Amino acid sequence: MTDLDELVNWFDGKNKVMVALSGGVDSALVAFAAFQKLGKSAIAVTADYKTLSEEELQTSRDVCSEIGIEQLFLDYDELENEDFTKNDSNRCFHCRMELGDHLIELAKEHNVQIIVDGTNLDDLGDYRPGIEALKQYGIRSPLVETGFTKSKVRETAKFIGLSVFDRPSNSCLASRIPWGQRVTAEKLTRIE
């Protein structure tokens, strides 16, 4: 059994799955695997928020079109969240907690039993409070659970022909604002 088979088979027995899709290679591979196993019972969700660049948003659309998976959008303004905009070392945690709230709400609306993301094994070694926040919501990480590192993700994505296989990792726009400096719409516009 190949690594890809193992990832696709991870979705065995899952009725309806929502993939939190950023447009990067990791979540794209998860969306591909979910769609291979579940077809229309797999849906992708992209948060169209202020800290996502327009290029990333378009890439997410392109990837979903490539795969054939339905894509939904969450549209909310994280700049209304004071815990996020104060930009302390837990900014990502606050952002992902808010994202988790919205994902859970959308999952209920669409009768989704499980939400998954594109976290891979290499992500676990970094300081990633956002990952911890999503875990609190029970969001699963099939790439971690099936032993995928970033290099294995890229190899597999290239093998299946995903256009984003060599796309550089791209953090949100707010990560380019030093901690302690307030996150504002003006700063995000300048960065983009």
Confidence of residue 158 (pLDDT cuts 50, 70, 90): very high
Label the pairing between strands 17-20 and 114-116.
parallel
User: Is 1 a residue whose pLDDT tops 80?
Assistant: no
CA 183 – CA 166 distance, rounded (Å): 30
85 Cβ contact partners less than 8 Å away, ≥ 6 residues apart: 78, 79, 182, 183, 184
pLDDT value of position 126: 67
pLDDT value of position 53: 84
User: Is 171 a residue whose pLDDT tops 80?
Assistant: no
Q: How many domains does the chain have?
A: 1
Structure confidence by residue, pLDDT tens digits, 112-135: 999 999 999 998 876 778 788 888
Q: What is the mean pLDDT of residues 36-61?
A: 93
pLDDT value of position 148: 98
pLDDT value of position 10: 98
CA 20 – CA 98 distance, rounded (Å): 13
Q: What is the mean pLDDT of residues 161-177?
A: 89
CATH of the domain at 134: 3.40.50.620
Range of the domain at 57: 3-191
**Stretch (H or E) spanning 13:** none
190 Cβ contact partners less than 8 Å away, ≥ 6 residues apart: none
